[in-house]
Amino acid sequence: MTTAIIPTREELQDFIYYRHKDAYGVKGRHYSFEAMSYEELEAEAIRLDDAAHEQYKWERKCDAEALIEFRASIRKVREICGCDRPTAMRYMLEDFADEYDPSYVCYSLRLPYSMAKYIEPVLNELRSPEDDEVSDTSEKYDVFEINC
């Protein structure tokens, strides 16, 4: 026999608060939970869950469209330059040569963050070796040392 799990009022409030962010991008701070009945809380939780699922589907659609556009751009660069795929990606990412965060590149190009693992090696290749050298900055901050 299966027993249904009935959420408490507090659990519903927490679910609504956080699921509102999934659906609309901001937490649901505007709710007056004390003025809502349990049934109203339950209905709102269901509505927000549906809205969050729709938002998720829309985001996945946008990710797919961005990938299609990016791949089309790579093909276009390959046709124009007569180069292979890695070279075409390097050409496309040259503007980000000084960038260390592949997630920022994904954000800038509207690509899903899952693409960062493919972009990072290209960024590493574009950076000059001097950029990766760590300078000794410890001497600069010796004046901030506190002697107790």
Q: How far apart are the first and last CA of the chain?
A: 67
In eight-state DSSP terms, residue 116 is H
Cβ partners under 8 Å of residue 83, min gap 6: 77, 91
pLDDT digits (tens, 9 = 90+) for 32-74: 999 999 999 999 999 999 999 999 999 999 999 999 999 999 9
Q: What pLDDT sits at residue 58?
A: 95
> Region 77-82: what's the mean pLDDT?
93
In whole angstroms, what is the distance from residue 146 CA to residue 104 CA?
A: 36
In whole angstroms, what is the distance from residue 112 CA to residue 110 CA?
A: 7
Domain ranges for the chain: 9-23+32-127
Structural tokens at position 45: 């939780």
pLDDT digits (tens, 9 = 90+) for 102-144: 999 999 988 999 899 988 988 888 876 654 454 444 444 444 4
Instruction: Tell me phi and psi for residue 113, to 5 degrees.
Output: -65, -20
